[in-house]
């Protein structure tokens, strides 16, 4: 009793667990229950129960309510579909002038808006694409097909790759110096001679539209939220859900609204990339010391000057992290949006993965990653650039970059022209190296994969079988064995113990939504995969982070590696694991582990770093050894920050589990992927996305509440 009085929390937790397990054992598995695959499709089945909602029929397998709650939200996807359809096709018809047919046409307002937005995006992408690759669509947009037919010279010829490469190198040199210039040059040459030029430039044109637009919108909305509490309150829930919403899930509704193609991809990318930008903008602006703002005011800044010259530059650090996130998301989406018809490297990557051509996938993936790193570094360098006022420069020195570019422009054109004589009858390698005519190492990699497979087949197979049979299957069975009511009690109880009645209610609402949707079983499968990934990632991440922290250099090195890995589009992680483990759950889980280890490691190092130096010294003077210092001082203080890392790890793991559906899993992701090819998929896709987001949010809420309390307790908030 003494013991329990001393630790009342422990007693409460034990009680909660006892109730949970009690419920688990008390509620039997219904005899008819097996892991049902077809539930969400509402197949007509005499064994199914039916209920009507607003005249809509919802069918489901009926079980004991304690075992599985009835899918009372089953009407939601159908309702979303109907509403979308109504909005797009029937709502507010208006007269619009049609340029092509020269007459007024009646169209629903939203459809018209969507078409206008779409054509605007298409124009932007085409413009950049045609500068890089040539074409005539942009010119047609300003003139007419007849005019182009009459004046064939007006077709944009596209820049030879040598000029683009030189341009990127010179720009990098101007922004940052020799190192980045070298990297830019090598990247461009690699892209070109490996025959990835065209898809790379297509992807680049997509990014060059999506990233700046996302940045501007994110910054703008962030500033609006900073200035007005009301805007912030309105934005906050959306931001929260979007942060944990898997990118797949947004694809489907966007498909309905904006159709198929690059333009839809840009819009979706903005939807995904803007929320983190907003959050980081708000965070950065909030952190500005009030005296800096006052200094700006006292210098006589107008509101605009204050925002542009004082607030935004001062919040630069966080805003730059936002830019990094935007670029990361853009490249990630560049791959994923290949599902809805975006052209470029992503399309090639998916194609190669589908054909199990690991070598080709690897090359495309490397290209995407290289361009992503390059753009990331360039944006960073641009923001940190310094002006030199004092150097008494000559005209040449001041304009040398422009002059060099002009020179390389001329040389590039001459080379391309000369190329037409050298490579008569074949491809002009000095202009553009076509996709299948570059050097390719695909064969080498494929052979390598084959070799690995042949040589280590027994071991890989043994590992695979062991993992699936002895670890994953039992784990999945355990998760599915939980009665819905028991899970609900556990979640709500945890919410209450951590954050009181408020947290309990939030967690209850989120869990109920999933439990009442038709995909509770799938959500459990998703959860089990994510749990497995998170546990392993945290073990690795915390260990690696702690070890690296022991030495300043290795810590900085590790953080650098995390930066680079984070810039890789999430899809790229699937390539090497498919190389080794083929199409199995093991592959997905290993990708999950690798991907989710990044935040775990990063937050561990950052957390340990944030422990005040004074405490280190105090501890050293108390005569602790290194290990004691770690366990008694550093871990307890860094723990809240490390828990935030856990939060990120969960989000990353969930994302990867969902993307893993591409390899073939049985969780929510699989249904999202299916919804993509379903004409009524929008509602299902969105609802599934919300389910995944809610899983993330449940943990987010619990962890954040705990961290905030803990930080207050330790006095380090």
Partner 1 sequence: MSETVIKCESVYKIFGENAKKMLEEANGNVDAKTFQEKGCIVGVNNASFEVAKGEMLVVMGLSGSGKSTLLRCISRLTDATGGKIFIEGQDLLELNNKELIDLRRNKMGMVFQSFALLPHKTVVENIAFPLQIKGTNTEDSISRAMEMVKLVGLDGRENYFPRELSGGQQQRVGIARSLAVEPDIWFLDEPFSALDPLIRKEMQDEFLRLQEKLQKTIMFITHDFDEALKLADRIAIMKDGIIEQLDTPANIVLNPATEYVRKFTEEVPREKVLVIEDVMDTSSKDNLGDLKVSKDEIIENVAEKILTQEKIVGVVDSNNNVVGSIKPSKIIDTVFGGRKDSN
Cβ 315 to partner 1 shortest distance, Å: 10
Distance CA 186, CA 188 (A): 5
Q: What is the largest CA-CA distance in the chain?
A: 96
Instruction: Give the nearer residue to partner 1 in terms of CB position, either 386 or 394.
Output: 386
Q: Hey, which residues between 202 and 221 contact partner 1 (CB under 8 A)?
A: none
- Which range in 104-112, 269-277, 298-306, 502-510 contacts partner 1 by CB under 8 A? 298-306
Examine residue 316 and tell whether it contacts partner 1 (CB under 8 A): yes
Examine residue 382 and tell whether it contacts partner 1 (CB under 8 A): no
Cβ 314 to partner 1 shortest distance, Å: 6
Q: Which of 301, 403, 505, 516 binds partner 1 (CB under 8 A)?
A: 301
Distance CA 148, CA 141 (A): 11
Contact 67, 33 (CB under 8 A): yes
Q: Which of 1, 43, 54, 298 binds partner 1 (CB under 8 A)?
A: 298
Q: Which of 8, 152, 300, 715 binds partner 1 (CB under 8 A)?
A: 300
Tokens of 713: 């307790």
- Which range in 276-284, 291-299, 327-335, 357-365 contacts partner 1 by CB under 8 A? 291-299
Cβ 384 to partner 1 shortest distance, Å: 8
Q: Which of 314, 379, 517, 604 binds partner 1 (CB under 8 A)?
A: 314
Examine residue 393 and tell whether it contacts partner 1 (CB under 8 A): no
Instruction: Give the nearer residue to partner 1 in terms of CB position, either 309 or 400.
Output: 309
- Give the number of other Cβ atoms within 10 Å of residue 284's Cβ: 23
Cβ 304 to partner 1 shortest distance, Å: 11
Instruction: Give the nearer residue to partner 1 in terms of CB position, either 37 or 286.
Output: 286
442-466 and 358-383 are packed helices; what angle lies between their axes, rounded to 10 degrees? 100
Cβ 389 to partner 1 shortest distance, Å: 5
Cβ 563 to partner 1 shortest distance, Å: 21
Examine residue 302 and tell whether it contacts partner 1 (CB under 8 A): yes
Instruction: Give the nearer residue to partner 1 in terms of CB position, either 28 or 294.
Output: 294
- Which range in 104-112, 374-382, 387-395, 453-461 contacts partner 1 by CB under 8 A? 387-395
Cβ 306 to partner 1 shortest distance, Å: 9
Tokens of 577: 């694991």
Instruction: Give the nearer residue to partner 1 in terms of CB position, either 297 or 400.
Output: 297
574-581 and 345-354 are packed helices; what angle lies between their axes, rounded to 10 degrees? 10
Tokens of 75: 């009407």
Tokens of 342: 């975006």
Tokens of 309: 């010259």
Examine residue 500 and tell whether it contacts partner 1 (CB under 8 A): no
301-311 exposure pattern, b = at least 16 Cβ within 10 A, e = fewer: beeeebbeebb
Tokens of 636: 């307890």
Distance CA 24, CA 485 (A): 9
Cβ 299 to partner 1 shortest distance, Å: 4
Region label for 97, one of left (φ > 0), alpha (ψ between -120 and 50) or beta (otherwise): beta
Instruction: Give the nearer residue to partner 1 in terms of CB position, either 143 or 384.
Output: 384
Residue 259 sits at the vertex; the CA angle it makes with 254 and 260, to the nearest 5 degrees, is 105
Q: Which of 115, 193, 212, 309 binds partner 1 (CB under 8 A)?
A: 309
Q: Which of 295, 418, 422, 477 binds partner 1 (CB under 8 A)?
A: 295
Alpha helices in 245-357 (DSSP H): 247-258, 262-286, 290-298, 303-305, 312-314, 316-336, 345-354
Distances (CA, A) of 78 to 39, 450, 560, 694: 14, 46, 46, 20
Q: Which of 137, 138, 243, 305 binds partner 1 (CB under 8 A)?
A: 305
Instruction: Give the N- to C-terminal CA distance of the chain in Å, as an integer.
Output: 34
Q: Tokens 């430039």 map to which residue?
A: 201
Tokens of 693: 């987001």
Contact 656, 526 (CB under 8 A): no
Instruction: Give the nearer residue to partner 1 in terms of CB position, either 298 or 613.
Output: 298
The residues binding partner 1 (CB under 8 A) are 289, 291-292, 294-295, 297-302, 305, 309-310, 313-314, 316, 386-387, 389-390
């Amino acid at each position: 009793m003494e013991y329990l009085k001393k630790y009342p929390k422990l007693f409460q937790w034990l009680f909660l667990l006892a109730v949970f397990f009690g419920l688990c054992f008390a509620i039997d598995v219904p005899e008819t229950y097996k892991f049902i695959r077809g539930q969400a499709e509402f197949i007509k089945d005499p064994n199914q129960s039916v209920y009507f909602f607003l005249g809509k029929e919802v069918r489901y397998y009926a079980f004991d309510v304690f075992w599985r709650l009835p899918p009372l939200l089953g009407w939601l996807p159908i309702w979303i579909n109907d509403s979308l359809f109504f909005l797009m096709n029937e709502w507010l018809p208006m007269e619009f002038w049609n340029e092509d047919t020269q007459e007024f046409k009646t169209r629903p307002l939203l459809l018209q808006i969507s078409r206008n937005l779409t054509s605007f995006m298409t124009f932007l992408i085409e413009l950049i694409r045609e500068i890089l690759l040539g074409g005539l669509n942009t010119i047609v947009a300003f003139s007419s097909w007849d005019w182009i037919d009459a004046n064939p010279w007006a077709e944009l010829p596209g820049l030879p790759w040598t000029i683009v490469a030189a341009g990127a190198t010179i720009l990098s040199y101007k922004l940052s110096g020799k190192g980045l210039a070298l990297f830019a040059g090598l990247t461009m040459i690699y892209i070109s001679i490996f025959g990835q030029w065209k898809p790379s430039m297509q992807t680049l044109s997509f990014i060059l539209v999506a990233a700046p637009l996302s940045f501007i919108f994110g910054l703008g909305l962030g500033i609006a939220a900073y200035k007005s509490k009301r805007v912030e309150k309105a934005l906050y829930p959306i931001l929260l859900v979007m942060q944990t919403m898997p990118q797949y899930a947004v694809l489907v509704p966007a498909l309905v609204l904006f159709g198929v193609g690059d333009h839809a991809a840009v819009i979706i990318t903005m939807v995904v990339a803007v929320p983190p930008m907003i959050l980081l903008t708000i965070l950065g602006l909030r952190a500005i010391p009030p005296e800096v703002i006052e200094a700006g005011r006292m210098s006589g800044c107008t509101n605009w000057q204050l925002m542009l010259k004082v607030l935004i530059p001062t919040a630069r650090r966080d805003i730059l992290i936002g830019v990094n996130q935007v670029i990361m998301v853009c490249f990630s989406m560049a791959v994923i949006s290949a599902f809805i018809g975006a052209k470029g490297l992503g399309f090639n990557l998916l194609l190669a993965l589908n054909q199990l051509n690991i070598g080709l996938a690897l090359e495309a993936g490397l290209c995407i990653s290289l361009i992503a790193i390059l753009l990331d570094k360039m944006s960073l360098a641009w923001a940190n650039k310094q002006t030199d006022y004092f150097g008494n420069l000559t005209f040449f020195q001041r304009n040398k970059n422009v002059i060099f570019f002009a020179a390389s422009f001329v040389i590039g054109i001459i080379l391309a022209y000369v190329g037409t004589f050298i490579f008569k009858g074949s491809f002009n390698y000095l202009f553009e190296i076509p996709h299948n005519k570059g050097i390719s190492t695909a064969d080498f990699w494929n052979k390598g994969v084959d070799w690995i497979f042949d040589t280590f087949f027994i071991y890989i197979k043994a590992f695979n079988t062991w993992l699936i049979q002895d670890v994953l299957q039992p784990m999945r069975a355990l998760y599915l064995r939980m009665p819905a009511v028991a899970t609900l009690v556990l979640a709500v109880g945890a919410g209450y113990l951590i954050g009181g009645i408020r947290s309990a209610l939030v967690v209850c609402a989120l869990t109920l939504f999933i439990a009442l949707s038709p995909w509770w079983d799938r959500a459990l499968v998703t959860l089990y995969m994510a749990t497995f990934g998170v546990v392993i990632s945290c073990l690795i991440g915390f260990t690696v982070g702690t070890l690296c922290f022991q030495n300043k250099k290795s810590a900085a090195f590790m953080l650098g590696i995390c930066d680079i890995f984070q810039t890789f589009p999430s899809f790229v992680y699937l390539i090497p694991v498919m190389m080794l483990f083929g199409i199995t759950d093991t592959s997905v889980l290993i990708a999950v582990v690798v991907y989710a280890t990044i935040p775990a490691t990063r937050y561990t190092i950052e957390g340990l770093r944030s422990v005040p130096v004074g405490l280190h010294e105090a501890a050293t003077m108390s005569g602790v050894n290194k290990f004691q210092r770690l366990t008694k001082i550093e871990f307890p203080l860094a723990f809240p920050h490390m828990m935030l890392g856990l939060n990120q790890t969960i989000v990353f793991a969930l994302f990867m589990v969902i993307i893993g559906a591409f390899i073939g899993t049985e969780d929510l992701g699989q249904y999202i992927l299916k919804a993509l090819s379903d004409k009524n998929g929008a509602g299902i896709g969105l609802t599934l996305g919300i389910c995944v987001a809610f899983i993330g949010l449940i943990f987010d809420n619990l962890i954040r509440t705990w961290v905030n309390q803990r930080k207050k307790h330790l006095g380090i908030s």
